[in-house]
A and B are shown apart, each in its own frame.
Chain A
Amino acid sequence: MIPTSFEYLRAKNLKDALKAIGKNTKVIAGGHSLLPLLRFRLAQPDTLVDIGQLQELKGIKQAGGGMKIGAATTYRELLESRELGTLYPLIAEVTEHIGDLQVRNAGTIGGGLAHADPAADMPPVMLVLDATFLLQSKGGKRSVAARKFFKGPFTTAMKPNELLTEIQLPAPPKGAGMAYASFEQAASGYALAGAAALIAIAKGMITRAELAFTGLADTPFLAPAAAKLVGTSGDELISQVAAAAVAGVEANDDIHAGPEYRTHLATVAARRALTQALERAR
């Protein structure tokens, strides 16, 4: 339980941090994903760059009709933000699922997303909300859609010299309802399968439907099948869409759940999330 030795650098500001990161460095904020890996010596960086204290990376702001969240904002700060809770109640709902009180006190939204655990709760939320992630490096900044960010287990579109600095959320569509349903693995609390849904309606008809999964496959993903709900009243189609959304997906297999059960749970989670999102939209 003792990591290999490393240099520890507490960045004074963002510029400082961007200068320090690169090959054989790891960025640490809350540390909840990284520390176990360090202690098992499954990660052996030369330098840890601590960005947890950077005020530049903290905070939740209104922007246009949407919001911007600093990457080093803790889960607890997300839960405490009334504005965020009003505009995106789903984020608060899902955040309550993450870890326990201590984890939420120190863990950060950006850290969790950058870690890209394929069974984490927050990525599918980012997918259905169509968030954009701001990535910065010494050389500049670029934006990557959440939908193009998650590339595989623990693998993202970020380059080694880039830092996730901000999560940008567009205004939720008018008349939108959102929901998340998941089945937790009893030991880790990570999702065996989980689904986030967003449904917007106008005059009783669905105008937009988004559905994303976590835990099911090697990376969280958006299910295009949800689009079939658009232009309908939902209800009877939801079960079909839930099943179609997971069809052909190569499901994870581990000691906790085989692919068949996982796929089944994902279908149930999708149905429950879509149904609840629709109810909330109404």
Chain B
Amino acid sequence: MRLDFSGAPEIAAPPDEVWKRLLDHEFVASVAPGVESVEPIDDRHFKVISGFGVGAVKVKFQLEVELSDVNPPKSLKMSAHGKAPGSGVEVSTTLEIEPLPPNRSRLKWSATSEVRGTVASVGARLLKGTAKKLTESFWDKFAARVGERSK
């Protein structure tokens, strides 16, 4: 099942600051819901274990995350290939940071996900809303936290 979401939260921090946080995997993990561990392979590749879900639903995925098209401090592509028993997910996110002078930024993100297996065949009714909420709240929270830290 394909899901496309996007957003453009404003961040109370300049692009350099936002960029630094985007590449700080520990910071990103602290903002993301359900992350249990992050293991950097190199500065572009990470192994992540994370639980996704809302309410009673929780599926633990093993994710291989790759950063590509790295263009500091402007844009970045983040791809995740995730496996869980009976399910799978691919998420491809493009990120662009736009300066909002004097001292702020806008983080334009758009994510395309492909969900497979049990999660797709069981969750058709509810997957979209849930995934949207999770994705949006992740980036909104990221934006808010970067802003807070930058104060």
Contacts and interface: CB of A to CB of B under 8 A. Distances in A.
A218 B86 contact: no
B55 interface: yes
A188 B126 CA distance: 12
Given A40-B118, A42-B118, A152-B133, A254 B58 contact: no
Q: How large is the interface on B (under 10, 10 to 19, 20 to 34, 35 or more residues)?
A: 20 to 34
Interface string B112-140: 00000011001111101110110000000
Interface string A190-201: 100000000000
B59 interface: yes
Nearest to A218: B129
B3 to A, nearest CB: 10
A33 B56 contact: yes
A190 B125 CA distance: 10
A52 B118 CA distance: 29
A34 B58 CA distance: 12
Interface residues of chain A: helix, strand, loop or mixed (majority): loop
Contact of A254 (B53, B59, B118, B125): B125
Contact of A188 (B55, B57, B125, B132): B125
Given A40-B122, A41-B85, A41-B118, A252 B129 contact: yes
Given A41-B86, A152-B133, A153-B130, A115 B55 contact: yes
Contacts of B70: none
Interface of B: 53-60, 85-86, 118-119, 122-126, 128-130, 132-133
10 contacts: A40-B122, A43-B56, A43-B57, A115-B55, A152-B133, A154-B126, A185-B125, A252-B128, A254-B124, A256-B125
Given A153-B126, A188-B125, A254-B128, 14 more contacts: A41-B118, A42-B53, A42-B58, A116-B55, A119-B125, A152-B54, A153-B54, A153-B55, A154-B55, A190-B125, A218-B132, A252-B128, A254-B124, A254-B125
